[in-house]
């Protein structure tokens, strides 16, 4: 059996997928299988997989009908034979030849860690410009051990492509979620085993482009309300306390939520957490706070030219 299963849930975009395959081909760590589960309605990804089967330890599965996000991710987990699993999005890529080796080493050296994660280099696809370097602070790393639910307010772990987890955890992604599906997975994993291995280097590149699920989801008011209240119920969040009050207040402002009725209309029928109505009433305060922070950042980094920590190693 291979030590690692790299699972790529594919959907169209064979050119981006080939970039990911090219990076995998350069990896120094070789004890892995590559599982490509394909939701693409045509044969473009299948044809690419056939071209690469002699170059990589690749298994291909076409999903008919398409499974969608995140069930396509879960299909890879079900097929995985490795002790470790990496859900590698088809439009992301490994930055270094030793990326897989460093992920595996982190889990080998920290047997109590339920997953290992690294920094993420987030770039604009059209220009290759770095947007930011996603990396946690020391305070955030400590919070992972004591209160992993803070990831719901700010995902400092990153996309699934930058998280390698143990198959023995027995976890799958929640199929009713799209926007919070990854942080929900991380929180459940850390509640089960409150330790993660952090790798302080950027090992994965993430391209931001208009075809990503994120681009459409952030404009879907009902989906966002349903998911934020689903995880609030699942993890028993207290919306009267920070950082949850600030995060939910911000979304109420951004989505212009004016009553609890809109949450019900979004399809959430569970108990409404205490403090929700007060946050809705005060949503403009959270909007003002958001714009104040954005203005301060603009002055510091654009007008004064200070060095941004999230753009540099």
Per-residue confidence in pLDDT tens, the chain, 313 aa: 999 999 999 999 999 999 999 999 999 999 999 999 999 999 999 999 999 999 999 999 999 999 999 999 999 999 999 999 999 999 999 999 999 999 999 999 999 999 999 999 998 888 888 888 999 999 999 999 999 999 999 999 999 999 999 999 999 999 999 999 999 999 999 999 999 999 999 999 998 866 666 667 888 999 999 999 999 999 999 999 999 999 999 999 999 999 999 999 999 999 999 999 999 999 999 888 878 777 876 676 566 665 545 544 5
The pLDDT value given to residue 285:
92
Q: Is 168 found in the same domain as 119?
A: yes
Q: Is 203 found in the same domain as 75?
A: yes
Q: Is 106 found in the same domain as 254?
A: no
| CATH number for position 9 | 3.90.550.10
Distance from C-alpha of 306 to C-alpha of 308, rounded to nearest angstrom:
6
The pLDDT value given to residue 208:
83
**Structural tokens at position 213:** 């699920």
Distance from C-alpha of 247 to C-alpha of 76, rounded to nearest angstrom:
32
Question: What's the domain count of the chain?
Answer: 2
Q: Is 229 found in the same domain as 195?
A: no
Domain residue limits at 182: 4-213
Q: Is 239 found in the same domain as 204?
A: no
**Structural tokens at position 209:** 């482009």
* Closest to 201 measured CA to CA, from 102, 58, 128: 102
Q: Is 53 found in the same domain as 141?
A: yes
Q: Is 224 found in the same domain as 208?
A: no
Residue that is last in its domain, among 167, 191, 213: 213
Counts for the chain of helices (H) and strands (E), in that order: 12, 9
DSSP at 311: G
Q: Is 225 found in the same domain as 179?
A: no
**Structural tokens at position 174:** 């929640």
Q: Is 273 found in the same domain as 179?
A: no
* Closest to 227 measured CA to CA, from 196, 181, 272, 172: 181
Rg of the chain over all Cα atoms, to the nearest angstrom: 20
The pLDDT value given to residue 305:
62
Q: Is 224 found in the same domain as 198?
A: no
Q: Is 266 found in the same domain as 291?
A: yes
Q: Which residues, other chains included, contact 230 with Cβ-Cβ below 8 Å and sequence gap of 6+? A: 176, 177, 180, 268, 270
The pLDDT value given to residue 312:
47
* Closest to 37 measured CA to CA, from 57, 8, 66, 12: 8
Residue that is last in its domain, among 181, 213, 245: 213
Residue that is last in its domain, among 157, 188, 213: 213
């Amino acid at each position: 059996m291979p030590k690692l299963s790299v699972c790529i849930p594919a959907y169209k975009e064979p050119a981006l997928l080939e970039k990911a395959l090219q990076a995998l081909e350069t990896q120094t760590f070789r004890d892995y299988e590559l599982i490509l589960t394909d939701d693409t309605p045509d044969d473009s990804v299948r044809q690419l997989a056939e071209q690469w089967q002699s170059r990589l330890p690749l298994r291909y599965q076409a999903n008919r009908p398409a499974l969608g996000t995140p069930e396509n991710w879960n299909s890879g987990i079900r097929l995985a034979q490795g002790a470790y699993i990496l859900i590698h999005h088809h439009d992301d890529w490994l930055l270094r030849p030793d990326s897989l080796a460093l992920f595996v080493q982190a889990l080998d050296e920290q047997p109590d860690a339920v997953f290992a994660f690294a920094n993420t280099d987030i770039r604009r696809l059209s220009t290759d410009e770095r947007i930011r370097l996603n990396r946690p602070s020391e305070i955030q790393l400590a919070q992972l051990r004591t209160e992993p639910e803070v990831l719901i307010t700010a995902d400092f772990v990153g996309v699934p492509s930058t998280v390698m987890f143990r198959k023995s955890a027995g976890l799958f992604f929640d199929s009713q979620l799209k926007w919070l599906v990854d942080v929900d997975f991380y929180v459940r994993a850390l509640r089960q085993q409150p330790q993660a291995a952090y790798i302080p280097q950027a090992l994965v590149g993430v391209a931001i482009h208009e075809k990503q699920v994120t681009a459409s989801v952030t404009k879907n008011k009902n989906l966002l309300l349903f998911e934020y209240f689903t995880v609030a119920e699942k993890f028993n969040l207290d919306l009267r306390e920070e950082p949850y009050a600030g995060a939910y207040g911000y979304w109420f402002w951004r989505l212009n939520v004016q009553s609890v009725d809109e949450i019900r209309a979004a399809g959430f029928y569970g108990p409404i957490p205490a403090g929700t109505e007060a946050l809705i009433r005060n949503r403009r305060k959270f909007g003002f706070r958001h714009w104040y922070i954005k203005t301060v950042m603009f002055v510091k980094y654009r007008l004064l030219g200070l060095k941004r920590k999230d753009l540099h190693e």
